[in-house]
Amino acid sequence: RPLMKKTSLLFAATLFAAPAFAQDECSTAVALAAATPTTFDTTLATASPTLWPCAAGGGPDIWYTFTTTQLADVEVSTCNNATYDTAIEIFSGDCNNLLPLVCNDDGGGCAGFTSIATAPSVPSGTNLFIRIGGFNGASGTGTVELTESAPFVCTPDSFEDNDDCLSAVAISDGTYPGLTVSESDNDYFSLTVPDGGTLDA
């Protein structure tokens, strides 16, 4: 009977899977070192489910962590260092309970709508989560830098303690030099203006 030639065919199948983006979610955030410019790229990132309070809904984002080493003002900046309209948000807490501290879309004086976000007076040992995204879906590349600095301490002036309405200091017409101004220390004053009078401060 005729011989039948058997041919074995081997098929090699290769499965290609897109690599997981290392810091695409809060749970996979990577540590950000203070005073160390770090390059980033959000073009392959996805948008996290946590809503943005700024940046018109935000855009694809990546995540970093940082733990404060002192009572500090923590500034995170992409100012003048990104190819697109960035946004930055800083949180405390943990990934299951993120507590928003500050969100910035456009930093003052920053070109290209880049960003500066500052969380003031963060206690030592606080673990922060930082996400970098974009305005209204924007993505791109850039450099981020974190700065940890001792917070400004308001030196009491001659009118202290007048930090609330109940302790407002009565003043009259005149000039009052030597006052200390700080965004973390309100000062209250009271002044009686006669009927029909005007007040210039």
Q: What average pLDDT does the segment 1-21 reach?
A: 45
Could you give phi then psi for residue 138, rounded to 5 degrees? -70, 150
d(CA 62, CA 88): 10
| Tens-digit pLDDT profile for residues 33-59 | 999 999 999 999 999 999 999 999 999
Higher pLDDT, 187 or 81: 81
Give the pair of three-digit tokens for residue 121. 């007076």
Q: What is the DSSP string of 49-77?
A: SSPPSSGGG--S-EEEEEE-SSSEEEEEE
pLDDT at 166 over 90: no
pLDDT the model gives residue 165: 83
pLDDT the model gives residue 33: 96
d(CA 63, CA 66): 10
What global pTM score does this model have? 0.70
Contact by Cβ (8 Å): 90, 80: no
pLDDT at 112 over 70: yes
- Residue among 146, 148, 139 nearest 62 (CA): 139
d(CA 60, CA 46): 5
| Tens-digit pLDDT profile for residues 80-109 | 999 999 999 999 999 999 999 999 999 999
